[in-house]
Amino acid sequence: MREVDPRRRVSRRSFLQSAAVAAPAAAVATGVGLSAEEAWAEGGAALSPAELKTLVKVARDIYPHDFLADTSYIAAVRPWDAKAASDPAVKQLLGDGIRRLDEDARSRHRVAYAQIGWEADRVVLLQAIEHTPFFKALRADLVVSLYNQPDLWPKFGYEGSSADKGGYINRGFNDIDWLPKV
């Protein structure tokens, strides 16, 4: 009986040929000059892609959860673009707030806010503007728009509304297993 090696052999030549075909195809699929991570920001109605990316970074820094993907923060920030498109005052508020963050970041770190690598450095910049209407409005809205996404509820241990299931009295009201029994 003859044994056949099930592993596929790839030569250097075949690898380079397939890479030469795959690279241009990937560039066309994601849009010329855009990475897959940045393509979502191109469809903004009133805000520029840089402003949208900064808002997502701010949202992640205000409510940091390492187990949440950026798509959750993008979904929380998206309504701000529509608000800015319909209300010039909101667009002005967002533009001024982002501009101030970027100016503070450039004076301290020589890069825009969204390009600062360390979260602690970005939090220091946010603490400097936490008294501004921009920060207060964004923080107040994000607490609802981020945590009111039903697909995220299981990640936080929330099972959803219990009113339609008879309430909590028979569904976990007294499920305290971490206290000693008396």
In a domain, 174, yes or no: no
What's the pLDDT band for 166 if we cut at 50, 70, 90? confident
Provide the number of structural domains found in the chain: 1
List C-alpha distances in Å: 17 to 11, 14, 22, 24, 30: 10, 5, 9, 12, 21
36 pLDDT higher than 50: no
pTM of the model: 0.70
Residue 112 has, within 13 A of its CA and on its CB side, a CA count of 12
Q: Which residue did the predictor score with more confidence, 42 or 136?
A: 136
In a domain, 111, yes or no: yes
In a domain, 8, yes or no: no
In a domain, 128, yes or no: yes
In a domain, 96, yes or no: yes
The pLDDT tens digits of the residues spanning 97-117 come to: 999 999 999 999 999 999 998
In a domain, 87, yes or no: yes
The pLDDT tens digits of the residues spanning 120-132 come to: 999 999 999 999 9
The pLDDT tens digits of the residues spanning 57-86 come to: 999 999 999 999 989 999 999 999 889 989
Provide the domain limits for residue 57.
39-158
What's the pLDDT band for 181 if we cut at 50, 70, 90? confident
